[in-house]
Amino acid sequence: MPLHYLYLIAAVVAETIGTTALQASAQFSRFWPSVLVVLAYGISFYLLALTLRFMPVGVVYAIWSGLGIVLIAAIGFLVFGQRLDLPAIVGLGLIITGILVIHLLSNTTAH
């Protein structure tokens, strides 16, 4: 797997940790989860910047935000008990489909 994809995957993981910590921070009223939000987002944006050396910003952002949305929805369901209705699940499936189309069929990504 090319290094830039590892950067992108790590950026998605860091963003997901940051967003999960954002929920746990109770609107920044809890200190340590709030610190984790800032650190995780900082790491995520740094890794995104490294990824941009190899891939166009629109493609990077689409993959980063799309995967982040899907992972956060899953964490919200599993950890925070947030329910998803059928339209939400279909929409998340479309996001995954869009990411696969970009990755597998587009010539704008560096494979």
pTM for the predicted model, two decimal places: 0.91
Query: Is 8:47 a contact under the CB 8 Å cutoff?
Result: yes
Query: Is 37:21 a contact under the CB 8 Å cutoff?
Result: yes
- Report the distance separating Cα 28 and Cα 46, nearest Å: 22
In sequence order, what are the residues at sequence separation of 6 or more whose Cβ sits closer than 8 angstroms to the Cβ of residue 12?
A: 44, 63, 64, 67, 68, 71
pLDDT of residue 108: 80
pLDDT averaged per 10 residues, the chain (length 111): 94 97 96 98 98 93 96 96 96 96 83 53
